[in-house]
């Protein structure tokens, strides 16, 4: 072994920067993190779609410097004074610090390939992207603004938590509230495109996420009300392969199309143009 090799192999691991590589959750390929981010967090080998945050969704779909966020200062309260292993207030503080968000949804207006749209996106990092009173209010306000300004609505759902248990019935009311707002949008003949990502589950899927005039999903997204493991344990039967995945749901008629992340912005632009 040469002197150079000896020095190279004797380097302490702490001298090598952490976080430079990411292992794909599907094919287990090691991916250079910067390359993954440049590819919108899609594995270049197997096309596995990693989860995007709500700000990343906006960056993916909206033209640069055109997004105007709505309801920036809306924050949840603790109407039930919920306590458990952690109080609701503690959980909120932790997720606000972790994500930099005030809630599990970002809403606003912007341009998508120069077309004005109303856009909402939920974020699974914030209490699993669940829908409490503030998320319901933000989604409803967005739809009502779109009606006033005659804008198409796109909502990107990535929520594994459904209705937020910390708020009890107040959270459940948001399912009817957001659905009612979309009914008014439909009466005005304004389009709503629902984009389902991994995961879109429970109360979110049982309300606004399932009501799109056009239903789109990313590849291999888990979509449904109750997860497949719970269903299998309940009915005591083996479920079909890829049950509740995008491809299964497309085959069975729930979805209109599956669109890869790289094609999402242009596909949505074409669909919106058809409604004009």
Model confidence pLDDT, tens digit, residues 161-210: 778 888 888 889 999 999 999 999 999 999 999 999 988 888 888 889 99
Stronger pLDDT, 147 or 246, i.e. the higher one: 147
- pLDDT band at 8, cuts 50/70/90? very low
Tell me the mean pLDDT in the region 115-126: 94
Q: Which residue has the higher pLDDT, 138 or 19?
A: 138
Domains contained in the chain, CATH given? 11-48 (no CATH), 51-274 (3.90.226.10)
What is the per-residue pLDDT for 66?
96
Whole-angstrom Cα distance, residue 43 to residue 26? 9
Q: Which of 37-46, 55-64, 118-127, 239-248 has the lowest mean pLDDT?
A: 239-248
* Bridging pattern class, strands 214-217 and 192-201: parallel
Q: What is the pTM of this model?
A: 0.85
Percent of the chain past pLDDT 90, that is, above it, reads 50
Q: Which has more pLDDT, 131 or 191?
A: 191
pLDDT tens, 197-208? 988 888 888 889
Give me the mean pLDDT over the 122-134 stretch.
89
Per-residue pLDDT band for 2 (boundaries 50, 70, 90) equals low
Average pLDDT, the chain: 87
Give pLDDT, residue 78: 85
- Amino acid 15: pLDDT: 53
Q: Are 148 and 181 in contact (CB under 8 A)?
A: no
Would you state the pLDDT for residue 164? Answer: 85
pLDDT above 80 for 34: yes
The residue whose two tokens read 């009501």 is: 211
Confidence bin at 245 (pLDDT 50/70/90) = confident
> What's the token pair of residue 153?
């609505």
Alpha helices in 88-132 (DSSP H): 88-99
Alpha helices in the chain (DSSP H): 3-9, 33-38, 54-61, 88-99, 133-149, 169-187, 202-205, 228-235, 246-251, 261-274
d(CA 222, CA 199): 5
């Amino acid at each position: 072994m040469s002197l150079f090799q000896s020095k190279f192999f004797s380097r302490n691991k702490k001298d090598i920067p952490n976080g430079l590589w990411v292992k794909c959750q599907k094919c287990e390929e090691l991916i250079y993190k910067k390359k993954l981010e440049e590819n919108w967090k899609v594995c270049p080998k197997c096309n596995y779609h990693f989860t995007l945050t709500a700000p990343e969704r906006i960056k993916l779909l909206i033209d640069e410097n055109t997004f105007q966020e709505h309801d920036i200062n809306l924050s949840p309260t603790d109407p039930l004074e919920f306590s458990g292993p952690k109080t609701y207030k503690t959980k909120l503080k932790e997720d606000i610090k972790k994500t930099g968000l005030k809630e599990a949804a970002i809403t606003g207006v912007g341009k998508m390939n120069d077309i004005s749209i109303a856009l909402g996106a939920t974020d699974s990092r914030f209490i699993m992207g669940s829908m409490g009173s503030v998320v319901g209010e933000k989604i409803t306000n967005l739809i009502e603004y779109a009606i006033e300004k005659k804008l198409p609505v796109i909502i990107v759902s990535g929520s594994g938590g459904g209705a937020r248990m910390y708020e009890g019935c107040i959270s459940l009311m948001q399912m009817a509230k957001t659905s009612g707002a979309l009914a008014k949008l439909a009466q005005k003949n304004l389009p709503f495109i629902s984009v389902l990502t991994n995961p879109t589950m429970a109360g979110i899927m049982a309300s606004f996420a399932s009501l799109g005039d056009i239903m789109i999903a990313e590849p291999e997204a888990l979509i449904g009300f109750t997860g497949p493991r719970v269903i299998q344990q309940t009915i005591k039967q083996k479920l079909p392969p890829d049950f509740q995945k995008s491809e299964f749901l497309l085959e069975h008629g729930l979805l209109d199309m599956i669109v890869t992340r790289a094609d999402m912005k242009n596909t949505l632009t074409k669909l919106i143009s058809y409604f004009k």
